[in-house]
Every structure is written in C-alpha cells, then in structure tokens.
Structure 1
C-alpha cells in the first residue's frame, strides 16, 4: 500500500479512533474483570485521551500536521516512559517506593484530582506493582508500553510522509 496516497485526515482519524478505542477497551476490561487501576494506569489512560484529542485536532486542522504529529509523539513518548516505569515496578515490586507507598507525586495528585471530578473514568484504587490482568504473559502496563511505542512509530511515519 502506498501510504503517501492516504489522506492526512485519515491518519489523524485513525489515531483518534485508536486511542479512544483503547480507553473504551480498558474501561470494559476494568468492569469485566473488576480490575483496580493504579495512578499510573489512570495517567496512561489520560495520555491516550489527550493523544486522541490531538488526533481530532489533526483531523480538523490537517495543515498543522507537523505540530500535531510532534505533540502526539511527545505525549506518546511520555506514555511509553510511564508504562515502562510501571513495568519495572511490576518486575521489581520490592524496589518500588512510589504509587501508593510514599507521599503522592505530581502524577498521583493529578490522578487523585481527576478521580474526584470524574470517578467513572479516572478513579485510581489499585497499586502500580499489581499484575491483575495478564494476556500472553504481558501485563496491562507491558501492553501499554508496546501500544505507546506503536503510536510513536505511527506518528513518525505520518511525519515523514509527503503532503
């Protein structure tokens, strides 16, 4: 397939739908398996939502492709870092000192505030070291790390393609 022929708006629509779809799947898994999301899980959910909004902005204003691509890439790299940190916490829980075990950091305070405003979407009740849901021997944090890496790759391709 020649990616140069795919309209820029279609790329951004795919990004937005993919991110919003991931949040919907995460909420459904949370309800179905009675999962208790941790502050880092909720922060990743927030990043997916914000990247989805960036996708909508790119869809509405495709002339700013490089701005939206760069912003989405920075957010996805941040999400990758958070998911990688949570994956490390799950691999070495005895070394983890944050996310429910110490004074709240900035992410935890933001998540707490969002959880009070919109509990159905942002309430964090779990611990970051818990591996409550595993599929193909990968935790939700591991999968999220892979998805954020995929978003970065997707946005690199979008940024490199010709208008």
Structure 2
C-alpha cells in the first residue's frame, strides 16, 4: 500500500501539470513566473514519487523514506509559493526579479523549454479563477493535499 501512495502523488502531479498546460495552450491563460515555478515543483514531486515507487518495489525502505520527506518538503515549498503568489505577487505590477523569476530565468528553463516554463505574463495579469476560486488558491490546496497524503503515507500501516 505504501507504494501506491507514491504512484498517487506522481499521477496527481502530472494531471495537475497537464491541467496547467491545457489552461495555457488551449484556453489562452498566460503563466507568470510563480505559475511556472510551481510547474517545476510539480515535476519534482512527480519524479521523486516515481523514485520512491521504484524504491518500494525493490524494498529499499530508506530511499523510499527519504523520497517521502523530499516530497513533503517540495509540497510545503509549493504551498508557500502559491500562498506568496496569491497574497503578494498577484498585487505586483511585475514579477521581475522575484525568487521564482530568478530561478526560472537563471536556470535556463524558461528559454530552453518555453512551452512548459515560458513566463508570458506578470502575476497581476496572470490572475485567473476556476469556479470562482483563484488558480493560486487551487494550487495552494493541491500542494497541501499532496503534503498531507504523503504525511499520512509515512505513518500508514497496512492491515493484515
């Protein structure tokens, strides 16, 4: 059962990333620096989840445990970035030179993979909502959910 929690985290993150890409490329919602930074976090969680899944398959419990801790740390970072995006960055005229902007541009991801990590709007301009709730709040709730899912999995003992 522990192994499934890794798979759930990976699949949920990849679905969330796919939803962001559909929002951008089909519905024309332009992402800001914080949006694409959160995409990077989603990819990180998905990859580490797959590593944890493989570690559990080969009974490498210590690697699975470390993977779980990294996932929870990334989820916390994602939640903090979504909170910052909603409370601070969305009120700024420019995200230029914020932490997310610096990470994405200095890493080269923004220019090398623009369809995934391209920054096309300021945080104020990129504010969008779904069902009356801002995308940043959805992201915040999603990262909290992923963190809690993995916290529960950390202490989950299967019934025999």
Following TM superposition, by how much is the alpha carbon of 1:130 offset from its aligned partner in structure 2, in angstroms?
Answer: 3.0
Shift of 1:117: 1.0
The residue correspondences of 1:1-163 to structure 2 (distance < 5 A) are 7-62=1-56, 63=61, 64-89=63-88, 93=91, 96=92, 99-100=95-96, 104-112=97-105, 113-162=108-157
Q: Shift of the alpha carbon at 1:107?
A: 2.5
Q: Considering only aligned residues, what root-mean-square deviation do their CA atoms show, in Å?
A: 1.7
Structure 1: which 4+ aligned runs deviate by more than 6 Å? Answer: none
User: Residues 47, 135 of structure 1: CA spacing in aligned structure 2 closer, same or farther, 3 A cutoff?
Assistant: same
The CA distance in 2 between the partners of 1:97 and 1:162, in whole Å, is 49
Q: How high is the TM-score relative to the length of structure 2?
A: 0.87
Shift of 1:97: 7.0
Given that residues 31 and 119 in structure 2 are in contact (C-alpha distance below 8 angstroms), is that contact kept between their aligned partners in structure 1? Answer: yes
Shift of 1:14: 1.1
TM-score w.r.t. length of structure 1? 0.85
Query: Number of residue pairs matched?
Result: 151
Cα distance, 1:57 vs. partner?
Answer: 0.4
Gaps of 5+ in 1: 1-6
How far the C-alpha of 1:25 sits from its partner, in A, is 1.1
Contact 2:9–2:49 (CA under 8 A) maintained in structure 1: yes
**Aligned-residue offset at 1:110:** 2.3
Contact kept, 8 Å, 2:4 with 2:53, in 1: the verdict is yes
